[in-house]
Amino acid sequence: MALNETRTWLIAYDITCPRRLGRVHRYLKTVAVPVQYSVFAAEETPAGIQRIRLALANIINPKNDDVRIYPLPNKLELHHYGRHPLPEGLLLLADQEGQAAGILLL
């Protein structure tokens, strides 16, 4: 992956302290789009996701908290049940065969 190539990342967290939880949530709202409570999507380069990782590392307690960052595949297949699968600000893109091709953050 090129250093300036963006991709979509899924960021999920489980924070034990309400104060740190609020700080993580507020920070992620500045760099990503909330998908569900404690789950965000970010369109970032490798350098951008590294900045997010470092910022989160400075907020959390690694002995008690859990933050996970997953790169999403370019050919994304989305299954959902219940309410609308994507919040306002996210758009699922499809390729010419109708397969999910990625997420666009608006």
Point out which residues pair with 14 in neighbouring strands: 66
Rounded to a whole number of angstroms, the CA Rg of the chain reads 15
Task: Tell me the C-alpha distance between 50 and 67, whole Å.
Answer: 13
With H, G, I as helix, E, B as strand and everything else as coil, classify residue 87. coil
Geometric angle at alpha carbon 29, from 24 and 30, rounded to 5°: 105
Q: Domain ranges for the chain, please list them.
A: 7-105
Q: Who wins on pLDDT, 106 or 45?
A: 45
- Is the pLDDT assigned to residue 105 strictly greater than 60? no
pTM for this prediction: 0.75
Task: Tell me the C-alpha distance between 14 and 76, whole Å.
Answer: 24
In the block, residue with structure tokens 């760099």: 31
CATH class of this structure's domain 7-105: alpha beta
Tens digits of residue pLDDT in 36-48: 889 998 989 999 9
